Chain A
Amino acid sequence: QVQLQQSGAELVKPGSSVKISCKASGYTFTSYDMHWIKQQPGNGLEWIGWIYPGNGNTKYNQKFNGKATLTADKSSSTAYMQLSSLTSEDSAVYFCARQWRYYFDYWGQGVMVTVSS
């Protein structure tokens, strides 16, 4: 069965960077776009971008250009998102999600990132 297993919660200092992971199993990792989505406490969902693990192509929400960097490792079926120059506005839960048609059919469990000194 399809599973997306994300890394654990992160507590990081302002100005630093963090890299979170999303390990895929149960399907051909290189055949589906992987998306990343942000959810701040009490807020809705915000799309960050996608990566196609088959060739590394990416597309970002303009709002996250320079903030998020998406990569993928085909050998381990793992997608990564690095967030840089962190501020309190980056404190949120971050989900990876597999694209199916134009939607998201499988989601990771989410990673809570807390930015605090």
Chain B
Amino acid sequence: DVKVTQSSRYLVKRTGEKVFLECVQDMDHENMFWYRQDPGLGLRLIYFSYDVKMKEKGDIPEGYSVSREKKERFSLILESASTNQTSMYLCASSNYEQYFGPGTRLTVT
């Protein structure tokens, strides 16, 4: 069974904090993705990775960084959280078909 897990379902952080969102997949997928989803704006790609230690910027990489040290794990880092980063964060993985994790609803106050 396909499985993508994310470290937290809900997270509340303060402005200026460094935030780590973790994603793990057990399907031996090559590609992993981080999106954010906001009402009216749809799914927006932040970063993706097609191999260990490789990363590509998506549509909205500003204010974010990523790390992929192992094939199964892809981390999203908010270097200094801001209120406009309050959102639903979705991780996904794929070879051909793409599967999403349950999402992390992050609130930055």
Whether A and B are associated in the same complex: the answer reads no
Binding site for A on B (CB under 8 A): none
